[in-house]
Structure 1
């Protein structure tokens, strides 16, 4: 259910980047308090959340927080901005998680993993008492697979990428593509040393999403997958008009 919309017109600048910034700032303002242990996601939208967190921490508005990163990228971002860092082994139970999404449906099911950090992102999200999504207007769809056309990212053991590709084709008709590196010969290698398959299942209704969530987890060779089902409590979508749409699960 859509519960509120803040409107604020701004002139100039990239509307997508401004949308990300507005959504991130409102999410931080609404959800983060002093003394919290915070899961910090990865990707371009989370940069704005970290910058806003850092501003509030440095001016004393937020105190005694610990930030647990989900990737090498987010860890470096936290270090660069002077925020206190912890590891999931130290803090296995977190208060709040903030992360982006490649797509979000009306029930707040997500596709994540465009940045190849999905396994750690899911592990941290599961450790959070409350998990919130930050995204721009392009990421909201009625069904998963309507906006994001690159497939569901699936992290696989390197030796098993071909067998997993064959298995998903037989079970669900999924078309798997091994994600290749940029400025590197060969495939993308995750922070965990694994490969990423981007698997096209087409548009997915609720039943299909739930079936794939369970089925992919049971597929030998799969480390984890980019369907986050029933995990998000709320999503913040930055709009083209400079406002923020807030959607509750």
Structure 2
């Protein structure tokens, strides 16, 4: 088990380092995503001594930027970004991506949309033929608290199985960085017409954002078990 964990970590490191080496240089405005692979992106920026301005997508990425001593900004001061590097929970061959396992999909999507390009870094388990192959927790959907019950009923009518994400070490539901609830909409793979599904979910009143990222990524790096990377 520990060996598998070590292989996963080395693959995440390989992907994070490769994206920084290929895309980042002094003077860029960079969106810093969320998730376990992003730690290695920040590590590499610090290691190379790159002079970049960093805009975080979550409280977690804010802490990583501050702890590394990098230049921290936000979208009010730096509204246009050159690139965002972010993680993913799954990526299919059509560049349909599920994100939001960590509950940050709203801020991740806002920052990605403000960027000229989005580059995804992930380990080999995230590279799938169809969404839902390895990621069994469903599509993360951020909703305003007052709407979560009607939203869940609507999702059920769309052949999804919604579950309100509950906190682990506190009573009650998970609350996002924006004060909203997270619904995980489970599904039976393969999903059909994912771009239309993303629109249909987003159009439900009370839904703030979905974890479906459609046609947003320019490139995806997958770290492999042997420490190499493949890309798409």
**TM beyond 0.5:** yes
Aligned residue among 69, 72, 85 for 1:82: 69
Q: CA deviation at 1:12?
A: 10
Partners of 2:88 and 2:214 in 1: CA distance: 12
Aligned to 1:128, the other structure's residue is in SS state coil
Aligned counterpart, 2:27: 35
Aligned counterpart, 2:223: 238
Aligned counterpart, 1:214: 199
What are the residue-to-residue correspondences of 1:66-145 with 2, within 5 Å? 66-145=53-132
Aligned residue among 141, 145, 148 for 1:158: 145
Deviations 1:23-65 (A, max 9, x none): 10001000111110000001110001111111112xxxx23x1
Partners of 1:152 and 1:246 in 2: CA distance: 24
Aligned to 2:175, the other structure's residue is in SS state coil
Aligned counterpart, 1:19: 11
Aligned to 2:222, the other structure's residue is in SS state strand
Structure 1 runs (4+) greater than 6 angstroms displaced: none
Aligned to 1:44, the other structure's residue is in SS state coil
Unaligned regions of 5+ residues in structure 2, if any? none
User: Larger relative contact order (C-alpha < 8 A, sep ≥ 6)?
Assistant: 1
Aligned counterpart, 2:166: 180
Partners of 2:62 and 2:5 in 1: CA distance: 28
Change in 2 beyond 3 A, CA 1:12/1:177:
closer
Aligned counterpart, 1:7: none
Number of equivalent positions: 230
Aligned to 1:135, the other structure's residue is in SS state strand
Aligned to 1:91, the other structure's residue is in SS state coil
Q: CA deviation at 1:208?
A: 2.4
Unaligned regions of 5+ residues in structure 1, if any? 1-10
CA RMSD in angstroms comes to 1.4
Report which stretch shifted further, 101-110 or 187-196.
101-110
